[in-house]
Amino acid sequence: MRLSRGWSLFLIAVGVWTWLIWPRFALAIWDDPRAWSTGVSGDGSPTSFLWVHALLIGASLAIGTTVGVLGVRGMLAARRKG
């Protein structure tokens, strides 16, 4: 299967967007009082709130990375085919 340049650029943009948004969301979750047993950021043990969000963030970054890599590979293949 060959991707058009337009779709390749779209996939690259989705990968970049993922890496711009999710790390910022991770910081917000880390600082959320619900993420820690004591209600203080980084103090006490992590709660299920933090673990669930960490899993979602990790999965989203993995999917975004995969999509971005596919876009780059599609772009390179389109360039080689000319």
pTM over 0.85: yes
Contact 67, 8 (CB under 8 A): no
Please state the separation of Cα 82 from the chain's center in Å.
31
SS3 at position 46: strand
Give me the pLDDT at residue 1, please: 76
Whole-number Å distance between alpha carbons of 7 and 30 = 34
pLDDT per residue as tens digits for the range 28-76: 999 999 999 999 999 999 999 999 999 999 999 999 999 999 999 999 9
Q: What are phi and psi of 46, to 5 degrees?
A: -70, 145
Site of tokens 């203080």: 40
Rounded to 10°, the helix 48-81/5-31 angle is 160
